[in-house]
Amino acid sequence: MNAKHLIKATDFCVYHQLEHTFITDLQEAGLVKITIVDSTPCIPETELNKLERIIRLHTELDINVAGIEAITHLIERIENIQEEMRLLKNNLRAYED
């Protein structure tokens, strides 16, 4: 991955006033992917939206990593069900015509 599409985890933590261990905990829980470049943990741009949502859950609602993991799992299930419903509706329309 190109280095210009990565953000140093330490810079991200300073900007959001987070402990670096929070990002490590999220990585260990499988919630975010961290890339190591020259022994420096970096966050890919593709992870930023997900990470920003997680940080809002943590800071604004005071939800811990285990709670965030459960919420993220439920959100993914809802999104999968919505996609499945969209596909089923499209298939049903084909039979209605």
Query: Residue 3: pLDDT band by 50, 70, 90 thresholds?
Result: low
Q: Model pTM?
A: 0.77
User: Dihedral angle at the C-alpha atoms of 71, 73, 77, 78, nearest 10 degrees?
Assistant: 20
Residue 90's CATH number: 1.10.1660.10
Query: Residue 68: pLDDT band by 50, 70, 90 thresholds?
Result: very high
Q: Of the candidates 77, 5, 1, which has an alpha carbon nearest to the alpha carbon of residue 48?
A: 5
Query: Residue 94: pLDDT band by 50, 70, 90 thresholds?
Result: confident
Q: Which domain holds residue 83?
A: 3-96
Is 70 exceeded by the pLDDT of residue 58? yes
Total structural domains within the chain: 1
Q: In what order do the strands lie in the sheet with 40-44?
A: 6-8, 40-44, 35-37
Query: Residue 97: pLDDT band by 50, 70, 90 thresholds?
Result: low
